[in-house]
Amino acid sequence: MSHQLPLQNRRAAAAAGILALAALGGAVPAHAAAYGTPTISLSASYLSGAVGATGDPVVEVTVAQSGADAAALTVAASASSRSSVARTSDVTVTGTGTTRRVSVAARARGYTDLTVKVTGLDGRTATKVLHYAASAAVLNSADTRYTTGSSDASAAVDVGGGYAVVADDESNTLRLYDLSRSGAPVRTWDVASALGVSKEIDIEAGARAGDTIYWTGSLGNNKDGVYKADRNTVFTTTVTGSGADTRLTVGGSYKRLRDDLVAWDEANGDRYGFAAGTEDGEAPKQIDGFNVEGLEFAPGSTTTAYLGFRAPLVPPKAGGKALLVPVTNFDRVAGAGAKPVFGTPVELDLGGLTIRDIRKNAADQYLIVAGSWEADDNSAPYALYGWDGVAGHAPVERTGLPTTDPGGWEAVVSVPDLTVPGTRTQVITDAGAADLYGDGTAAKDLDHAEWKKSRVTWFTVGG
């Protein structure tokens, strides 16, 4: 006859057995862990790269799974819609834990959708699509970086630590970039509201004196020959901090400098044809047009600034000279709305080219980006000229700039000591009219800001 212990006693015995097993190091069976469905998000859904590029932009991927350590999750590219542009094997994922970084090495120009997949501990997965665009390989690729978010870089001002504030001639936004790497701006400032403008200023140049950056619009008509008042704007921004900590505050402005230039030229025998170049119907970028693209202070001065003209060429024929017009009280014009006072104009022999930018260093050594006055001149000659800023002294060509790649050379960031052999400077392109990805779309018309970009390249100018 069998005897059974009461239920309460049987439970106590079982508990005691389990404790004994634990004391002896025996495994206690456990229920399988319950994991949730993995999650994945991208810091941006659109990414641009370039064939053969160094330091292309990356996208951050955030992953998680309830009940699991994020470090145990795997992240990889699982599909490409166009493997000729980039295969899954061209996608690299770095980092551990919750945040990973995805980079892509492009094979060819074009677009592809890359599926990025996270796999959880129980095998369940989640995906996101990264829309990727690759531009073609360029010369000097190892020395090239790309500023994304805009394709129409028009001026750049150094703020230290490898950072620069870059203007855009298609918007009224100033952008702070780390020019040591490719990617989006660190910070942006839309100056339109503070300046009371509703259309583009067509910002084409900037110059720094102390903690103030002075900016100028092109002052010319638009491409259709129509006068747009907001382009007749010069203004200031005050800088605080430096490098990644740079901050800008909009200061003063003046909106009649074009009118004053025309009146000054007419009073001096209509020497440069400013009145004709600004008439209704006159495009600004023609050999006898009117368009300002350079701004820099005269040697030893924080008050007299040179306005550098892309047009007209002087005289307006092949082999003519580039034009600088000094404004002797530019600090008060842009900063406080004073009536401008003009100095003696300077004509420079740049081999038949005109001024796309002009920049100097603390030793009053100047670099001039010289290019054609034409509107569609991305294949025309470009060069960097050195100059000492003194009227009557001839500029000297330092180096030619390549023209086989998309975009026109538009801005020089800073000027090194030009007497030291091997010193280099960075030059930025305006790629707004370029077909970067081979689909016939101008960069400025692309639907996604992440696909818009300008090119920044180092060139040797010293010695």
Residue with token string 């044809």:
273
**Own/partner long-range contacts of 221-225 (Cβ < 8 Å, ≥24 apart):** 221/278, 221/280, 221/282, 221/283, 221/284, 221/290, 222/284, 223/283, 223/284, 223/285, 223/375, 224/283, 225/280, 225/281, 225/282, 225/283
Q: Residue 423 burial (CB < 10 Å; 0-12/13-18/19+)?
A: middle
68 CB-near residues (< 8 Å, 6+ apart)? 35, 120, 121
Percentage of the chain beyond pLDDT 70 is 93
Q: How confident is the model at residue 33 (pLDDT cuts 50, 70, 90)?
A: low
- Mean pLDDT on 235-240: 98
Q: Is 3 left (phi over 0), alpha (psi -120 to 50) or beta?
A: beta
Which is nearest to 250 in space by CA: 204, 219, 212, 217? 212
Query: Where are the extended beta strands (E) located within 149-231?
Result: 153-160, 163-168, 173-178, 187-190, 203-209, 212-217
460 CB-near residues (< 8 Å, 6+ apart)? 399, 422, 423, 424
Q: Is the pLDDT confidence value at 431 over 90? A: yes
Q: How confident is the model at residue 12 (pLDDT cuts 50, 70, 90)?
A: very low
Residue 177's DSSP bridge partners are 164
The bridge status of strand 125-135 relative to strand 46-50 is parallel
Distance from C-alpha of 272 to C-alpha of 266, rounded to nearest angstrom: 9
Percentage of the chain beyond pLDDT 90 is 91
Residue with token string 């300077």:
346
Distance from C-alpha of 461 to C-alpha of 417, rounded to nearest angstrom: 9
pLDDT digits (tens, 9 = 90+) for 165-214: 999 999 999 999 999 999 999 999 999 999 999 999 999 999 999 999 99
Distance from C-alpha of 50 to C-alpha of 1, rounded to nearest angstrom: 87
Q: How confident is the model at residue 378 (pLDDT cuts 50, 70, 90)?
A: confident
| Alpha carbon of residue 253 to chain centroid | 24
| Alpha carbon of residue 119 to chain centroid | 35
pLDDT digits (tens, 9 = 90+) for 143-173: 999 999 999 999 999 999 999 999 999 999 9
pLDDT digits (tens, 9 = 90+) for 41-96: 999 999 999 999 999 999 999 999 999 999 999 999 999 999 999 999 999 999 99
Q: Residue 397 burial (CB < 10 Å; 0-12/13-18/19+)?
A: middle
Distance from C-alpha of 83 to C-alpha of 91, rounded to nearest angstrom: 11
Report residue 462 as tokens.
């010293």
Domains of the chain (ranges, CATH numbers): 39-135 (2.60.40.10), 141-460 (2.120.10)
Q: How confident is the model at residue 347 (pLDDT cuts 50, 70, 90)?
A: very high
Distance from C-alpha of 105 to C-alpha of 199, rounded to nearest angstrom: 39
End-to-end CA, the chain: 110
pLDDT digits (tens, 9 = 90+) for 306-321: 999 999 999 999 999 9
Strand order in the sheet with 99-104: 39-42, 59-64, 99-104, 91-94
The pLDDT of residue 250 is 98
Q: How confident is the model at residue 34 (pLDDT cuts 50, 70, 90)?
A: confident
Report residue 103 as tokens.
């980079």
Peptide bond between residue 312 and the one before it cis (omega within 30 degrees of 0): yes
User: How many of the other CB atoms lie within 10 Å of CB of 304?
Assistant: 17
The whole-chain average pLDDT of the chain stands at 93
Element housing 14 (H / E): helix 7-23
Q: Is the pLDDT confidence value at 442 over 60? A: yes
Cβ atoms of residues 169 and 204 within 8 Å:
yes
Report how far apart, in Å, the C-alpha atoms of 39 and of each of 45, 65, 78, 104 are.
Answer: 15, 6, 16, 22
Cβ atoms of residues 449 and 150 within 8 Å:
yes
The pLDDT of residue 287 is 97
